Every structure is written in C-alpha cells, then in structure tokens.
A and B are shown apart, each in its own frame.
Chain A
Amino acid sequence: MGNPVNSADPFSKIWNFFTSVKLTIVLLLSLAVTSIFGTLIPQNEDPQAYIEAFGEVLFQLFNLLDLFDMYRSWWFQLLIVLLTVNIIVCSIDRISASRRILFVRKPSFKLPRFRNLKHRREFTDGRSPQQLKDAYQDFIARRFRHSQVDTTDNGFVIFGEKGRWTRFGVYTVHLSVVLLLIGGLIGSKFGFDGFVNIAEGESASQIRLRNKPQMVQLPFSVRCDDFNVSFYETGAPKEFRSTLSILEQGRPVLKKDIIVNDPLRYKGISFYQSSYGNLTPDELVLSFTSTNTSKVYKNNAKMNQPLQLPEQLGTFELKNFLQSAQFRGHNIGQAFIGILTPPGADPIQITLPLRFPSFDKMRKGNLVIAVVESVPRFYTGLQVAKDPGVWVVYCGFILMIIGCYITFFMSHQQICLEVVAAGQKSRVIVAGTANKNKIGMESNVDRTAEKLAQMK
C-alpha cells in the first residue's frame, strides 16, 4: 500500500499480510475467544487436581495445548506478538500513506470539495460581502487554528482548520499497546514475583518464586518485628499490619509498617502484605488448680519441658499446639496438647483450648489445668516482587487514556464560509467536514451558521 514494491518480493508479501485490518479483527477475536478457556480452567494448579477434575485423557489433551498455563503458552504469546506486529506495521503503513495529510505546515483548502458537500447552511445577510469580511475572518480565526481568506469572483471564502494533530490519537493508542507489551517483557525478563513467610522477630533474605521451583537471594535481608491482625465485630478481618525492618549487613536501615495496599519498597523490590498464620506461642503461663486443697499454682511453661507439679501431683509437659483442635467432632480452635503423668499412674493426654479456659474441668480429675496467658505468635506472609518494567507500563497506561480520548472525541475539522454578493446583500454558505463524528460536525456547521446569522 505505502510503498509500491514488487509484490512478489517476500518482504513486501509479509508486509502486506500485516497491513490488513482483517488480520487485526481476526487476532482480536481469537484473543477474546481463547482467553475464555483460561477463565474456565483454573490456571497453574496441581496436576493431580486436574486429573481428578478432567480425567486422564482430557488432562493429556489440555496439557498438550498448554491450557493449564495458557496465558504463558507459546501459542497465546504468538497471538500477542502477531497482534503487536500487526499494530506496528499498520500504523507505519497508514502514517506513510497519509503523510501528506499528517505532516503539513500550512494546510491547503479546496473550494470544490466544500461546494460538493450535501450538508450545508445558507442564509442572507443585509450587508455586503466587504462589510462582513473582517468580522467573519475574526470569527473563524478565533475558533480555528489555521484560517485563510481567498477572494472569489463576486465575494470571498474563508477556510478554517483545526485538530489536524488529533489524527495522531490512534497511533498514540497503538504506541501505548506496544509500550505495555515492552513493559511486560522487561518485567518478565528482569523482574521476579515470589513470596516469603517470616516469623515475628526473624529475618529472611531468600524468596521463593511463584511460578518456578527456584529461590532468589536478596542483596539485603528483611526482618518482621511485629505482626498484628484486627477484626471487625462481624468477624471479618479489618487490618493486617506487619512492622518490617530492612537489614544491610545485619544493621537496620529502614523500618516501615506495611498493610494491604501500602507496601514497603526498597532498592526496586516491593514487599506486600499477603497472608499470615499462627505459630506456636513460645511463652505461656499455666494455672494448676488442685481440687483437694483448692489451691491455685501458676507456672511459666515452655514446649517440651516437663514441669514438676506441687502437692505430689506428678509432671506435666506441653507436647503440641494445634491451630484447630477437634473435640467430639467440633472445632474448638487453637489448643495446646499436653501430657500429665500422675505419680504411679498412666500418662493422660490433656487438651487446653485457648478459647475455653475451664475446659479441663470436664475431665473431673483432681487437678484442673488451664492456660492463663499466652502471647500469640504470628508469621507474616509477604509477596515480594521486582518489576523494572512497571514504569514503561504506566507510561503506556497514560498514553492509552490520552490517545483514546483524542481518537474518540476530537477530530480534524475544516470549515468553509463562502460569501457571495447578491445585489446589495450577501448570500452566506457554511459547510464543513471532519474526519470523525460527521453528525457532530453537521450540528457544528448548523451552530456556526446560526451564530453568523445573528452577528450584527
């Protein structure tokens, strides 16, 4: 289209293939249709889960088609690359084909073109063309970037033009799509996306990647000083908050509280609050109530350290901590499991749920054990990401919004006022064209004519 090269030449054949908007439509619809599969089949799950869901045969077939990780599959990426090439080639082709419209300093106007327009407005003004000329010229010059006055046989013509640059709007959108893909490519080549769980008080410098079984070593380490979770009265979570410190050679250099939507960024790496979990509390206070003497003894306890009990009641040792203990088929929440060994008797397993302090009374033994104090310990789950391409993507976003606005709602407009002497009076004809929104331009012409007719 643009360059009249011999069409047998393979380069121009390929070029011509990519200049077709039919290809664009086919590619856009293919992307739309194929994208649906990835929303119906959960992506990147355990192969075993897929075999259970689909059976062996379908699993093999889907696996062959990369449907379990389809947005990263070669054929989906190929569609995206084809669309990108298509966009670039089409844009270049169209820019070079319409360079005579796009790159001109002084626009040229052709009167016959406006005379042939179907939509036009005409009215008669009592003054002569000469009397109208200055006012009309001023009127057009104020509203259009370029204006030009030509004299005709028995009157004059004023042309006005504006918005030639808006023809670049669509190429801005195309450029923005290319930027998004470049940004995405930079991100996947030079960035990573992983996660790490850090217990309160501990630090980490190795990140497990999300999509491959691999670790990344950070050039510094990050410590979780504190984690807090708060809830609404309804039980819904209100806030997850981790206090993080960045350590360079063991020395803290930066400290920040992060919550969901407010990450910590350091040296191009961002830490996002993603999840959390409970750890076994390592310090707790137990109470031992002897039913014989009604005396209460309080003792500090640690896991796997046997406690000698008073009144010759034996020894007690904490063995385990469960996140959700079961009692007669009911979930009783977090609980410690301990072993009580009375002197000369068999050891008894004792459940100490944190939520029900008097739970052990039900055992009806000569000793009631309860957890009086336990400091909850958490680990924070952090998503760790580095994406040097994100600024390219953001530039693409901004260009896309601006480009869409220009392309959709602004146009390249030309207007023509022809004034012809009719005796002492003047006959005024208004006509105009635009490259987009023809109906809008017609009402624009109507409004201009009305204003001119009312001008005194």
Chain B
Amino acid sequence: MNGSFVLSIVTFIYGLAGFLYICAWIFRKQLLGQVATWVALIGLIGNTTGILMRWVESYQLGIGHAPFSNLYESLTFFAWVIVLIYLIIERKIGNRIIGAFTTPIACLVLAYASLKPGIPSTIQPLIPALKSNWLIAHVITCFIGYAAFALAFGISAMYLIKKGREEEPMLWVTIVKFAVLFTFAALFSRVLFVNNWGLALLVAIPICLVFYAIVFLVYKLPAETKTSLLDHFPDVRVLDELGYQLILLGFLFLTVGIITGAVWANSAWGRYWGWDPKETWSLITWFVYATLLHARLTRGWHGRRIAYLSMVGFAAVIFTYFGVNLLPGLHSYGSF
C-alpha cells in the first residue's frame, strides 16, 4: 500500500462521484447529490493522503523532496486543486450540477497520470536544477492557476449549453467552428495520446463525430426534457460571473507562478527570462487571459464571447502543460 496505489483508488472514487453527480442531475434526486458530495470529499481526503504518503515515502527512500517534481506528481496535485476549488464553489453557490462537469475532469486527470505509458509513478530523486525552495512555490501556484482555468473552462461549457444555440448560425461560422474543433482535437490527441501526426488526425475524426453526435442528440431531445435538464443549471448570469471570478483567480495564480518561476530561473541560470518554449507558452496563456480581462472590463464583453475566449485560454494552458514537451527547451523534467 503506497501513495501511488492510494491515488489510483482515488481515480475511481472521483469517477464514482462524477457518476453520482450526473445521476443526481439527470434524475433530479437531491439525495444522490448529497451522496456525491460526500464521495467527492472522501476522494479529496484520499487524494491528500496519497500526496502526503508520497512525500513521506520519498524521505524513507532517502531522497526526500516535496511531491511536486515530475509530471505524475503535478497531475495528482492538479486533480486535488480541481476538486478542492469545486467543493468550495459547491458550498458557496449550492448547485451540484457543476460537479457533473468538474469531478469527471479530475477523474480523467488522475486516470491519465496512472495509465499513460511513459509517466512513471515511481518516486525519483531530484536532479540538481530542481533542488530549490522555489520548486514548491512555483508548482503550487502554477497548478492552482491551471485548475482555476480548468474549472472556468467547464463553466464556460455549461454557459454555452445553457445559453443554447445562436439564432441561425451562418454557414461560414459553422465551417469555422468545425475546423477549429477538428484542429484542436488533432492537436490534443497528438499532445496527449499518440506519437505521430497522422494518427492524431485519424483520432480527431471520431472525437469530432462523438461531439457532433451529442450536439445532434441534444438538439433532437424533446423540449420538455431539455428544459428539465437545463433548468437546474445555475442562472446564465451566475455562470458568467463564476467563470469570470475563476479566471481572475487563475490569472492571479498564473502571474505568481510565472514570477516565482522567473525568480527561480534567475537563481539557477542567472536570467529571469530566456524565451524558453515553456516560459513563452505560459506568457502566451497570460496574454490570452489578459485580453479576456481587458475585453470584459473595458469593452464590456460578456457571455458567449467570454466563454469562447476562456476555452481558447484553456487550450493554451494545456499546450503550456503538455504540448511544450514536443518542443525543445529547458523544462524537460516535467515531460515524458
């Protein structure tokens, strides 16, 4: 029984919580929702235990270090923050449908960490560059930021679902949407699962098909079923504001994450900024969200446009996190 084993159990607990949240939403059972919250809470405790166990185990191995040193450990922490922030939101807003969209994300993150070949779950000793007190501050702040953006992404998706279709979308909009969806599906299957571009393009086809099948099914649903599924969603105004608040939180932590990284780089390499691909991509993410904030605060963008921008921002986050491993650079320790 070690930390990694506990974390693989937590994967299933999060999966169960997600399943219960979805059932509670579809069958509109208050009790199921309450059980789901408890299950998610147990999962969070298990996740905490798993991370702490790895910390202790690393000291037992004589290579003691905080459990934030490689991709596996960062993913387990990412899942932890997602569920923690979600449970706080649930408590504040009192709506459990958001859980149906967020706990599955945490489950997928952990499953990816455990199952993806080439992500070692063993505790490895720290290489010299990582031996710094800035490691903990840098990883924790970055991943709180990423988790907030992940939740903002989920809430933007809910916003778009609740808001429904735009009135008579023009043909070119439909085509552009399809092209964007396909490109992103291909890009992310390349980044996350497959090792060559041909296969990635192939994998993107079923992803798009599934997406359009769901959209089509939802479109064909009887109107009353649709309303009964959607009317327990939080109000669009609340979703819009909540997504925005999460982006503010994410932006603050991304800023602190980039800054702690810069200070660390200065103490390790003698320069606070070197345009290394990971640094650059974190800055690109920062630019995207900065655009969103300016568009909203000074140009009054709301709703749909902000939801789409938030999704683009999260795509940049994923690329900063995973995609950069395809590019040359210094951040190789977070790679696989």
Interface residues of A (CB under 8 A from B): 21-22, 24-25, 28-29, 31-32, 35-36, 38-40, 42-43, 71, 184, 193, 232, 234, 236-240, 259-263, 270, 272-274, 383-385, 387, 390, 393-394, 397, 400-401, 404-405, 408-409, 437-439
Binary contact readout B272-291 vs A (1 if CB under 8 angstroms, 0 otherwise):
11010100110110011011
- Would you call A385 and B132 a contact (CB within 8 A)? no
Instruction: Kindly list 10 other residue pairs between chains A and B, CB separation below 8 angstroms, not including A394-B263, A408-B248.
Output: A21-B299, A28-B290, A29-B287, A35-B287, A232-B63, A237-B127, A238-B125, A272-B269, A387-B270, A390-B266
B60, CB-defined interface residue at 8 Å: no
Interface residue from B264, B270, B281 paired with A385 (Cβ < 8 Å): B270
- Would you call A39 and B129 a contact (CB within 8 A)? no
Nearest Cβ on chain A to B123's Cβ, whole angstroms: 11
Nearest Cβ on chain A to B278's Cβ, whole angstroms: 9
B252, CB-defined interface residue at 8 Å: yes
- Closest A-chain residue to B238, C-beta based? A439
- Would you call B268 and A260 a contact (CB within 8 A)? yes
* Bound CA span A409–B249, Å: 9
In terms of DSSP, what is the predominant structure of the interface of chain B? Answer: helix
Interface residue from B252, B270, B275, B328 paired with A193 (Cβ < 8 Å): B270
Interface residue from B241, B269, B294 paired with A383 (Cβ < 8 Å): B269
Nearest Cβ on chain A to B129's Cβ, whole angstroms: 5
Total interface residues on B, CB under 8 Å, equals 48
B128, CB-defined interface residue at 8 Å: yes
Q: Could you say which residues of chain B place their CB within 8 Å of the CB of A240?
A: 128
B29, CB-defined interface residue at 8 Å: no
Nearest Cβ on chain A to B194's Cβ, whole angstroms: 19
**Interface centre among B255, B270, B273, by most A CB within 10 Å?**
B270
Interface residues of B (CB under 8 A from A): 63, 124-125, 127-129, 131-132, 237-238, 241, 245, 248-249, 251-252, 255-256, 259, 262-264, 266-273, 275, 277, 280-281, 283-284, 287-288, 290-291, 294-295, 298-299, 316, 324, 327-328
- Would you call B328 and A42 a contact (CB within 8 A)? yes
Query: Given known contacts A38-B280, A236-B125, A400-B259, is B294 in contact with A25 (CB within 8 Å)?
Result: yes
Query: Given known contacts A390-B272, A404-B251, A408-B248, is B280 in contact with A35 (CB within 8 Å)?
Result: yes
Nearest Cβ on chain A to B168's Cβ, whole angstroms: 28
| Cβ-closest 8 pairs across A and B | A385-B270, A32-B287, A260-B128, A39-B277, A408-B248, A261-B132, A21-B298, A272-B270
Query: Given known contacts A29-B291, A31-B287, A236-B124, is B255 in contact with A260 (CB within 8 Å)?
Result: no
Nearest Cβ on chain A to B294's Cβ, whole angstroms: 5
Nearest Cβ on chain B to A389's Cβ, whole angstroms: 10
Q: Could you say which residues of chain A place their CB within 8 Å of the CB of B295?
A: 25
Nearest Cβ on chain B to A267's Cβ, whole angstroms: 15
Q: Could you say which residues of chain A place their CB within 8 Å of the CB of B291?
A: 25, 28-29, 32
* Bound CA span A251–B108, Å: 62
Nearest Cβ on chain B to A162's Cβ, whole angstroms: 20
* Bound CA span A270–B266, Å: 10
* Bound CA span A279–B336, Å: 33
CB-defined A-B contacts under 8 Å, sample of 10? A24-B294, A28-B290, A29-B287, A31-B287, A43-B275, A270-B270, A384-B270, A387-B271, A390-B272, A394-B263
* Bound CA span A180–B256, Å: 14
Q: Could you say which residues of chain A place their CB within 8 Å of the CB of B264?
A: 261
- Would you call A261 and B299 a contact (CB within 8 A)? no
* Bound CA span A36–B298, Å: 27
Q: Could you say which residues of chain A place their CB within 8 Å of the CB of B316?
A: 32
Nearest Cβ on chain A to B297's Cβ, whole angstroms: 8
Query: Given known contacts A40-B327, A43-B275, is B270 in contact with A261 (CB within 8 Å)?
Result: no
- Would you call B294 and A35 a contact (CB within 8 A)? no
Q: Could you say which residues of chain B place their CB within 8 Å of the CB of A390?
A: 266, 272
- Would you call A35 and B270 a contact (CB within 8 A)? no
**Interface centre among B128, B249, B251, B259, by most A CB within 10 Å?**
B128
- Would you call B128 and A21 a contact (CB within 8 A)? no
Q: Could you say which residues of chain A place their CB within 8 Å of the CB of B284?
A: 32, 35-36
- Closest B-chain residue to A183, C-beta based? B272
Q: Could you say which residues of chain A place their CB within 8 Å of the CB of B287?
A: 28-29, 31-32, 35
* Bound CA span A31–B283, Å: 9
Q: Could you say which residues of chain A place their CB within 8 Å of the CB of B251?
A: 404, 408
- Closest A-chain residue to B237, C-beta based? A439
Q: Could you say which residues of chain B place their CB within 8 Å of the CB of A408?
A: 248-249, 251-252
Q: Could you say which residues of chain B place their CB within 8 Å of the CB of A24?
A: 294
Q: Could you say which residues of chain A place their CB within 8 Å of the CB of B256?
A: 401
Query: Given known contacts A236-B124, A408-B251, A408-B252, is B129 in contact with A260 (CB within 8 Å)?
Result: yes
Q: Could you say which residues of chain A place their CB within 8 Å of the CB of B131?
A: 239, 259-261
Q: Could you say which residues of chain A place their CB within 8 Å of the CB of B271?
A: 193, 385, 387
- Would you call A397 and B268 a contact (CB within 8 A)? no
Nearest Cβ on chain A to B105's Cβ, whole angstroms: 24
Query: Given known contacts A29-B291, A409-B248, is B270 in contact with A397 (CB within 8 Å)?
Result: no
* Bound CA span A439–B328, Å: 45
- Would you call B128 and A237 a contact (CB within 8 A)? yes
Nearest Cβ on chain B to A46's Cβ, whole angstroms: 14
Interface residue from A35, A38, A397 paired with B262 (Cβ < 8 Å): A397
- Closest B-chain residue to A94, C-beta based? B298
Nearest Cβ on chain A to B313's Cβ, whole angstroms: 10
* Bound CA span A270–B283, Å: 26
Nearest Cβ on chain A to B279's Cβ, whole angstroms: 9
Nearest Cβ on chain A to B269's Cβ, whole angstroms: 6
* Bound CA span A184–B271, Å: 10
